[in-house]
Structure 1
Amino acid sequence: MTDIAALDRADPLAAKRAEFLIPEGVIYLDGNSLGPLTKGAQARIASAVADEWGEMLIRGWNDAGWFTAPGRVGDRIGALIGAPPGSVTAADNTSINVFKCLSAALAMRPDRKVVLSDSGNFPTDLYIAEGLIAGLGGGHRLKTVAPEEVADALDEDVAVMMLTEVDYRTGRRHDMAGLTRRAHEVGALAMWDLAHSAGAFEVDLTGAGADFAVGCGYKYLNGGPGAPAFLYVRPERQARVRPLISGWMGHEAPFAFDPDYRPLEGIGRMRVGTPPVISLKGLDAALDVFDGVEMAAIRAKSISLSELFIAEVERRCAGHGLRLVSPRDPAVRGSQVSFAHEQGYAAMQALIARGVIGDFRAPDVMRFGFAPLYLSHADVAAAAGVLAEVLDGRLWDRPEYLTRSDVT
């Protein structure tokens, strides 16, 4: 039997939990969808509103560093994903950043017409690609294959390989370095969505040779609902990139108000409009929880938590039709575990009502995210116990749990 208390006593990250505001009695296993509020972000946002916006008014652009915040926050995120200073900017949302990066990448491979992705990619990435292709009217096409078929589908027709490293539904993890290397062998560019990677485990964009990357600020980075996203451009590519959207914040001299567009040098050219300052302040403060923490330690605890959860769920919930849909091997799994169940939605609502918060993805997947900075082994073992109670007693079989909400 696993000594859960001993695991928590030996946890080098245990003290980090105190930096988060998690409601009493809640076991929060949905940080892969929305990270919780940190105490630092709460204080920083309040200060940004009262002391900066309230007192400085428009002077805040200079006096409080609002104007330069996208680069500063971008560099802090870059340190978590293996990107050098000056290669990441915080901007817009993930969907807009997909559009910007993909349009810039396609322009760099004008003789090729295929965007290669996989059937496990997050739908918005595919929607953006479809819309961009239709708007370009240049004969491009989006080709999607099964995740395990990506390497074999890379050929000289592919302009851009566009993948999400961790499957949002199952947690399956792609081999970023291997697939990027294969894409480069056939002359394609590699673009990665890190929405379920950044802040969850080690990412090495430089070592993998990725050309472009995007990600959001509100999952494992805990930046808050609708927090600014981020994008990365490999330093050697930056002088050539020009996204299809050109806005004044990407101009070489935005306050010269020139009628013609001249892109800023470096990653700044990937910015478009005025940055969301209050949200940026919250994201910046949320990143403080990573100070002094090695991503390897986060990854080690993530594996320990998820392995314990799988073992406890399979031990306590046998015979109830739960099916593990995440990879069993943690080396090819992100920081989440997903189980399928025919009453997955209702069972998740029953769990949430009992203080264990995960989420659901159609058609039948119950998702549980493991954010090591605020979760303990005792938490995940207790969550497995509550799941067993819900299934043993058919506690999910109530009208209020069977009725679907807008957000699942």
Structure 2
Amino acid sequence: MPTDFAATRALFDLPAGLCYLDGNSLGPLPRTARERMARAMDEWGRLLIGGWNQAGWMAQPGLLGDRIGRLIGAEPGHTVVGDTLSIKVYQALAAALALVPGRRIVLSDTGNFPSDLYMAEGLLRMLGDGHALRLVEPEAVGDAITEEVAVLLLTEVDYRTGRRHDMPALTRKAHEAGALAIWDLAHSAGAFPVDVTAGGADFAVGCTYKYLNGGPGAPAFIAVAPRHAEAAPAALSGWLGHRAPFAFDLSYVPGRGVERFRVGTPPVLAMAALDAALDIWDAIDMEDLRQRSLALADRFIKGVLDAVPELELVTPREAERRGSQVSFRHPEGYAAMQALIARGVVGDFRAPDIMRFGIAPLYIGEAEIDRAVDVLAEVMERRLWDNPAYRIRAPVT
């Protein structure tokens, strides 16, 4: 049955009159999340420490991992939830490097999210021994995959421009060169169909607070290909990644498969909100979502370029080359975005000059797209951004 996107909008608690085009940064509140979190709070109050067993808190990272795994094409039993995306990047990269001994180069691109690069820099600096991070322009990644490379570390969709890498092609090239591939799905999971198994990914990581709508600070996930599950070492050998944590051994024994990539105590309340959000995805056909996303994005692109030719589109026009966001460049992009937000159209800004608009069909339709075009045209044509108040940079842009 085709996905009813008019019905899915009612599943979210959005302020009346708000045109929310920032789900690529933080998804809105699922209506059932309050009740689900209240239930977890009640379990905490009634059961106290017994909640870990009686309410099944300890099993949630794997159960939620499998629900996300279905959305990203991971094999059942090979995805786990917990910690932050930066920690999962670190774990995946450390494990991948250990699986390719004798090589020292991690290849990434200049469009990767800085946090991924920071984690790589920190790990490689600690490893020493000639380990280095090599960055190339996004279009040059394929040609830069040589037999020097140990690991290819890429974010599938560029957080600034929305440009999408070809996961199967680049992973295949990495494997042909004897390297492994790690894919960050922060702007992919919940945005369009993903298949890490068919794409050959060795490791995949991602967050759940963007398109998956898990809430601010919602836990991250990591998926490990079955071929590496028992061989990949756990660089962050946390207590809950131990094979028998409640044996309290003084030496670490890695858990089985992806379980070894658990680190800290599961965030029970955050997982309750994520659990509610994932219920929505059970009724979503991802191909329907993708087609709807592309149609809305095309409508937005055409509307903006027709009405505001001074804006430079930086998102690829070709459907296969983009994710589910549209980005424009303008020298006054920050102030212009603040003017939009003041008028009820919410996107965000990424330095130095990019205005981003997330296209999330679960709660965005033609009416929101057309309104965003009209307000953006008014802001630019009337120079409404030229207001000192809109130039004051907030901590989060």
What is the TM-score when the length of structure 2 is the normalising length?
0.98
How many aligned positions are there? 396
* 1:243 maps to amino acid: A
Select the residue among 368, 385, 390 that pairs with 1:401: 390
Aligned residue in 2 for 1:384? 373
Segments of 5+ residues of structure 2 without an aligned counterpart are: none
* 1:105 maps to amino acid: A
User: What SS class does the counterpart of residue 57 from structure 2 fall into?
Assistant: coil
Q: Please say if 1:216 is aligned against 2:207.
A: yes
Task: Name the CA distance, whole Å, in 2 between partners of 1:370 and 1:395.
Answer: 24
Q: Give the superposition deviation at 1:359.
A: 0.1
Select the residue among 355, 367, 389 that pairs with 2:356: 367
* 2:93 maps to amino acid: L
* 1:129 maps to amino acid: A
What does the per-residue CA deviation read over 1:98-152, in whole Å, with 9 as the maximum and x for residues that have no partner? Answer: 0011001101111101000011000001010000001112210000111111111
Q: Give the superposition deviation at 1:38.
A: 0.3
Select the residue among 278, 281, 284 that pairs with 2:275: 284
User: What SS class does the counterpart of residue 68 from structure 1 fall into?
Assistant: helix
Aligned residue in 1 for 2:135? 144
Percent of aligned pairs sharing the same letter: 61
Q: Give the superposition deviation at 1:243.
A: 2.3
Q: Please say if 1:327 is aligned against 2:316.
A: yes
Aligned residue in 1 for 2:10? 18
Kept in 2, the 8 Å contact 1:40–1:288? The answer is no
What does the per-residue CA deviation read over 1:163-201, in whole Å, with 9 as the maximum and x for residues that have no partner? Answer: 000000000000000000000001100100000000000
Aligned residue in 2 for 1:273? 264
Please show how residues 81-96 of structure 1 align to structure 2 within 5 Å.
Answer: 81-96=72-87
Select the residue among 139, 150, 159 that pairs with 1:168: 159
* 2:334 maps to amino acid: Y
Task: Name the CA distance, whole Å, in 1 between partners of 2:129 and 2:259.
Answer: 27
Q: Give the superposition deviation at 1:12.
A: 3.0
Q: Please say if 1:118 is aligned against 2:118.
A: no
Kept in 1, the 8 Å contact 2:44–2:51? The answer is yes
Aligned residue in 2 for 1:308? 299
Segments of 5+ residues of structure 1 without an aligned counterpart are: 1-9
Q: Give the superposition deviation at 1:11.
A: 7.5
Residues 1:381 and 1:11: Cα distance change in structure 2 (over 3 Å): farther
Task: Name the CA distance, whole Å, in 2 between partners of 1:221 and 1:249.
Answer: 25
What does the per-residue CA deviation read over 1:190-229, in whole Å, with 9 as the maximum and x for residues that have no partner? Answer: 1000000000000000001100011001000100111000
User: What SS class does the counterpart of residue 58 from structure 2 fall into?
Assistant: coil
Aligned residue in 2 for 1:357? 346
Task: Name the CA distance, whole Å, in 2 between partners of 1:187 and 1:394.
Answer: 53
Q: Give the superposition deviation at 1:42.
A: 1.8
Aligned residue in 2 for 1:179? 170
Q: Please say if 1:205 is aligned against 2:196.
A: yes
Aligned residue in 2 for 1:3? none
Aligned residue in 2 for 1:30? 22
Q: Please say if 1:79 is aligned against 2:70.
A: yes
Task: Name the CA distance, whole Å, in 1 between partners of 2:145 and 2:154.
Answer: 12
User: What SS class does the counterpart of residue 370 from structure 2 fall into?
Assistant: helix
* 2:307 maps to amino acid: R
User: What SS class does the counterpart of residue 249 from structure 2 fall into?
Assistant: coil
Task: Name the CA distance, whole Å, in 2 between partners of 1:400 and 1:54.
Answer: 45
- For structure 1, which segment, 127-136 or 390-399, has the greater mean C-alpha deviation from structure 2 after superposition? 390-399
- For structure 1, which segment, 126-135 or 37-46, has the greater mean C-alpha deviation from structure 2 after superposition? 37-46
Task: Name the CA distance, whole Å, in 1 between partners of 2:360 and 2:142.
Answer: 30
Please show how residues 103-114 of structure 1 align to structure 2 within 5 Å.
Answer: 103-114=94-105
Residues 1:212 and 1:315: Cα distance change in structure 2 (over 3 Å): same
* 2:259 maps to amino acid: G
Task: Name the CA distance, whole Å, in 1 between partners of 2:204 and 2:101.
Answer: 20
User: What SS class does the counterpart of residue 291 from structure 2 fall into?
Assistant: helix
Select the residue among 28, 41, 52 that pairs with 2:33: 41
What does the per-residue CA deviation read over 1:341-386, in whole Å, with 9 as the maximum and x for residues that have no partner? Answer: 1110000000001100000000110000001111111111111101
Task: Name the CA distance, whole Å, in 2 between partners of 1:11 and 1:255.
Answer: 45
What does the per-residue CA deviation read over 1:54-107, in whole Å, with 9 as the maximum and x for residues that have no partner? Answer: 111111101111000000000000000001111110011110000011001101
User: What SS class does the counterpart of residue 281 from structure 1 fall into?
Assistant: helix
Kept in 2, the 8 Å contact 1:192–1:213? The answer is yes
Aligned Cα root-mean-square deviation (Å): 1.0
Q: Please say if 1:63 is aligned against 2:46.
A: no
Deviating beyond 4 angstroms after TM superposition, the runs of 4 or more aligned structure 1 residues are none
* 1:37 maps to amino acid: L
* 2:236 maps to amino acid: I
Task: Name the CA distance, whole Å, in 2 between partners of 1:97 and 1:157.
Answer: 24
What does the per-residue CA deviation read over 1:314-352, in whole Å, with 9 as the maximum and x for residues that have no partner? Answer: 11213xx21001111121000000000111000000000
What is the TM-score when the length of structure 1 is the normalising length?
0.96
Please show how residues 198-277 of structure 1 align to structure 2 within 5 Å.
Answer: 198-277=189-268
Task: Name the CA distance, whole Å, in 2 between partners of 1:41 and 1:235.
Answer: 32
Q: Give the superposition deviation at 1:279.
A: 0.4
* 2:22 maps to amino acid: D
